[in-house]
Amino acid sequence: MSSKISLSRYLVEQQRVAGHIPAELRLLLEVVARACKSISHAVNKGALGGVLGSAESENVQGEVQKKLDIIANEVLIEANEWGGHLAAMASEEMEAIYVVPNRYPKGEYLLMFDPLDGSSNIDVNVSIGTIFSVLRMPEDDRGVDEGDFLQPGRQQVAAGYCVYGPQTTLVLTVGDGVAMFTLDREQGSFVLTQENVRIPEDTREFAINMSNMRHWDEPVQRYINECLQGKDGPRGKDFNMRWIASMVADVHRIMTRGGVFMYPWDKREPNKPGKLRLMYEANPMAWLIEQAGGAATNGHQRILDIQPSALHERVSVILGSKNEVELATSYHTPKV
Ligand code: AHM
Ligand code: MG
């Protein structure tokens, strides 16, 4: 790219192009990006910053929280609560929604995030990230409550993730395709490094936690078994497998070169529809993937069409290269 385009300039242009995003949303996204920059610094310091290890507490999902889970959550809240763009926030790390305190002006947006995705990779220096989703408050004059968040993913007005890996990369959609920004550490700003990201429709790469194979449902077993048979099986081609165990990094690989990612329902916890959370993991990723020409389903329906019934609801996820997602989905029974 000949002249560098910063995230701020990209967002200003998105605002000007037929008023694609309102100024308030632009400012909100700038603040989220600033928070991600600060989380990136904390991640980079690692043991030197005293940020590794367990916080010896549990979140609402019963998962042990890492220090960085809590730090990232606080950074996002502190950065976003005073700007006047938000009515409330919700996070993987907080049981209830966080309503913007009365001392600050309230805006019309709702922000959801998984502050530090891939927590099991924090201490081992493997890519982790932040996932976020923005909704508009429903138009009524009540005070904000959890019910306001329970909108299907197709109503998101912005979604993105920031991956903290060898580079820090912010990937964003406001409904006009997907753009990637790389953090220039010397300048301290995100620079546009790829626009109109497109995911190849076909792939030979899948990402799934194979150790759970015996617990999967028949359609998932069938799909993966057929991939494993490679050239000698019905697919007639060899597949490769990758599993980083940070959704954010697995999705980023798919954004970059295609692939299919699955975290299906399994028999270990039959009452849970899946491991990943709909509102702040699956929905933002599903929208980004669709905006890049891929597909995302829970095996039975498009993820973005699911009507959520709880803030921390879980969901099965199949996402990535369109033809593979459609094939894996066709092995399941459609939702009637
Ligand atoms: P987290 O949000 O607590 O980090 O959990 C979600 C993560 C995903 O990033 C990843 O895809 C999955 O859990 C990994 O699960 P597993 O431990 O089965 O490999
Ligand atoms: Mg997560």
pLDDT tier at 78 (50, 70, 90 boundaries)? very high
Question: Per the confidence metrics, is the pTM higher than 0.85?
Answer: yes
Q: Which residues surround ligand 1 with Cβ inside 6 Å?
A: 63, 92, 114, 117-120, 209, 245-247, 263, 275
Q: What is the DSSP string of 62-105?
A: SPEEEHHHHHHHHHHHHHHSSSSSEEEEEETT-SS-EEPPTTS-
Is 120 a residue whose pLDDT tops 60? yes
Q: CATH assignment of 7-194?
A: 3.30.540.10
How remote is the CA of residue 18 from the centroid of ligand 1, in Å? Answer: 39
Q: List the domain boundaries for the chain.
A: 7-194, 205-330
pLDDT at 55 exceeding the cut of 90? no
Residue of 64, 220, 242, 263 with the most ligand 1 atoms within 8 Å of its CB, for mutation: 263
* 7-194 and 205-330 in the same fold: no
What is the average per-residue pLDDT within 301-327? Answer: 98
Rounded Cα–Cα distance for residues 77 and 96 (Å): 13
Closest ligand (CA of 242)? 1
pLDDT score recorded for residue 336: 59
Using the predicted structure, report yes or no on whether residue 225 has a pLDDT greater than 80.
Answer: yes
Cα 314 to Cα 13, 249, 275: the distances in Å are 36, 20, 6
Sole residue written with tokens 């694609």: 20
The predicted pLDDT at position 141 comes to: 61
Q: For the domain 205-330, what is the CATH code?
A: 3.40.190.80
pLDDT confidence of residue 213: 97
d(CA 260, CA 328) in angstroms, rounded, equals 10
